[in-house]
Structure 1
Amino acid sequence: MKLISWNVNGLRAVTRNGFIDQVKKLDADIICLQETKLQNEQIPEEILRLTDYHQYWNFAQRKGYSGVATFSRQEPAKIERELGIEKFDSEGRVLITHYDSFVLFNVYFPNGQRDHGRVAYKLEFYAELLKMANALRDAGNKVIITGDFNTAHREIDLKNPKSNQKTSGFLPEERAWIDRYLQEGWIDTFRHFYPQLKDQYTWWSYRFNARQRNIGWRIDYFMNSENLLPHLKQAFILPEVMGSDHCPLGIELAF
């Protein structure tokens, strides 16, 4: 099975920029999208015509903001869209799909903002999501958490770590939550295969020709529970796929 995650930063815009062709080329069994930035009535017709996939959506109450979608060739047994906390659920940040082999969290984690005004909200979200994922894993499920975590973990995960020590996305308290996930048994799948590989990023600013110069951050992840390790065959990043300020990333599983 091939699973892909991609923050599209506006699904309508990326659809105008070749998204349908990219979906066909990716040929994934499951595609998790974040930051769709639309409502149900705004889904592009081209997307609705992707009949190879069952489509599941979670929209933010606020228009043009947040939102996640999961496209799946296999119909899940159960779908959830809530953590059970209104201030998070109103922003359309989570889609949980239950399959026979695993439970998949598609997540758009909050941005702490330049003025750090939402860092506390972001860290609370990290805590609540971890609690829910741990409970499912501890009940015997194999679990995958994927999406835009909005945090680079270590210095190797962004081009300019020294100048970003006080930037949300690389604050010590944000990075500590990535540590916490790993300490509680979650596997950063890309670093599992490539622990020291440099210059591997999933997001680049639109400014200063950052993408062309590969001045980026690795802030998107597939985190798997340890009981999925025997099934994990590969993890990868696809920086050549354009259309958003993020690129897709993925894993391959065998059952």
Structure 2
Amino acid sequence: MKLISWNVNGLRAVLKKGFLATFTALDADIFCIQETKMHAGQAEVNTPGYHQYFNYAERKGYSGTAVFTKYEPLHVTYGIAPFFDDDEGRVITLEFPKFYLVNCYTPNSGGELKRLDFRGGWDEAFRAYLVALDKKKPVIFCGDLNVAHEEIDIKNPTSNHHSAGFTDQERADFTMLLNENFIDSFRHFHPTQVTYSWWSYRFAARSRNAGWRIDYFCFSKRLLPQLTDAQILTTILGSDHCPVELDTTNELAPDQDPVNKEESPA
């Protein structure tokens, strides 16, 4: 199976930049997006052959997540209650027969780290949520996790040491999460490769490759035999982020036929 995750920085905006052509070309079995920045009915996303699930933020034009999947899940959950009361549409969880798929848009700590305490509470709650799921069956979680974990994951680690997404607290929280028997897929398959997934729109950062790796696929360690590769698709444009990919064996695929492409999306 192929899984894709992409922070599109506004689904309505990226639809005008060839999103559907990219979506079709990637042909993922499960396609997760973050920062949809929309509410129901504000855009038509025509994806024949996929079930669609959206989690909208209460605040208009803000946050939001979505999942498009060829396989119908056993169950879908929105948010991470009771671990955190989230009205920002940040998490969708799909339960499949052999694993949970969790799509997440982690809160940014903001300018001058004004939201760092909120972010710390989120990190603690999200970790507890994933650990609870992992006790039931293995987990694959993905999304814009808003942290560059190690110095290799950011172009300018010294000057960004106290910036949102690269504070000691956020990095330590991510280490704690991985220590709960989870693996960062890209760093597992490419331990020394320097590749970024987000670039500021300012200062021609993308053309200079002055970026951060803050978009991830992570997974329960016991899934390792079923995982084959992880990639960062840096050539795909349309957002300040690029998509990231996780490839698995067909052993993880549900024992069902994908949704009929002639059917209307769910």
Q: TM-score range by the shorter chain?
A: over 0.9
Q: Structure 1, residues 67-86: CA drift from partner, whole Å, max 9, x if none?
A: 00000000001000021159
1:216 maps to 2:202: no
CA distance in 2, matches of 1:226, 1:167: 30
Structure 2 residue 116 is the aligned partner of structure 1 residue 119? yes
Equivalent position to 2:165, from 166, 169, 177: 169
The correspondence for 1:251, drawn from 243, 246, 249, is 246
Matched residue type, 2:22: Q
Between the two proteins, the alignment pairs up a number of residues equal to: 250
Q: How many angstroms apart in 1 are the aligned matches of 2:79 and 2:161?
A: 32
Match of residue 159 from structure 1:
155
TM-score (norm 2): 0.92
Alignment correspondent of 1:57: 54
Residue type of the alignment partner of 1:253 = T
1:80-128 Cα offsets, whole Å, 9 max, x none, are 0021159742110000000112100000000000111111111111111
1:8–1:244 Cα contact (<8 Å) kept? yes
Higher RCO (C-alpha under 8 Å, 6+ residues apart): 2
SS of residue paired to 1:89: coil
In the alignment, the residues of structure 2 paired with residue 166 and residue 134 of structure 1 have an alpha-carbon distance, to the nearest angstrom, of 28
In the alignment, what sits opposite 2:190? 194
Once structures 1 and 2 are overlaid, which stretch shifts more, 125-134 or 216-225?
125-134
The letter for the 1-side match of 2:120 is L
With the length of structure 1 as denominator, give the TM-score of the two structures.
0.96
1:79-158 → structure 2 map (5 Å cutoff): 79-84=76-81, 88-139=85-136, 141-158=137-154
Hey, what's the Cα distance between the residues in 1 that align with 2:222 and 2:55? 28
2:37, 2:174 → 1: CA distance?
A: 26
- State whether residues 88 and 125 of structure 1, in contact with CA within 8 Å, keep that contact through their aligned partners in structure 2: no
1:233 matched to 2:208? The reply is no
* Distance (Å, rounded) in 2 between the aligned partners of 1:86 and 1:236: 31
In structure 1, runs of 5+ residues without a counterpart are: none
Q: Label 1:152 to 1:88 Cα distance change in 2 as closer, same or farther (>3 A).
A: farther
Alignment of 1:207 onto 2:239: no
One-letter identity of the residue aligned with 1:27: D
On the 8 A contact 1:55/1:72 being kept in 2, the answer is yes
**Richer in helix (by share):** 1
Q: Which residue of 2 aligns with 1:8?
A: 8
Displacement of 1:177:
0.9
Pairwise mapping of residues 17-28 of structure 1 onto structure 2 (< 5 A)?
17-28=17-28
Of the candidates 170, 173, 181, which is equivalent to residue 185 of structure 1? 181
% identity of equivalent residues? 48
C-alpha deviations, 1:219-254, integer Å up to 9, x for none? Answer: 011110011101010100001000000000010111
Aligned partner of residue 120 in structure 1, secondary structure? helix
Instruction: Please list the CA deviations of residues 10-44 of structure 1 after superposition, one character each: whole Å capped at 9, or x if unmatched.
Output: 000000000000001111000000000000021x2
Contact kept, 8 Å, 2:145 with 2:216, in 1: the verdict is yes
Alpha-carbon contact 1:210-1:216 (below 8 Å) kept = yes
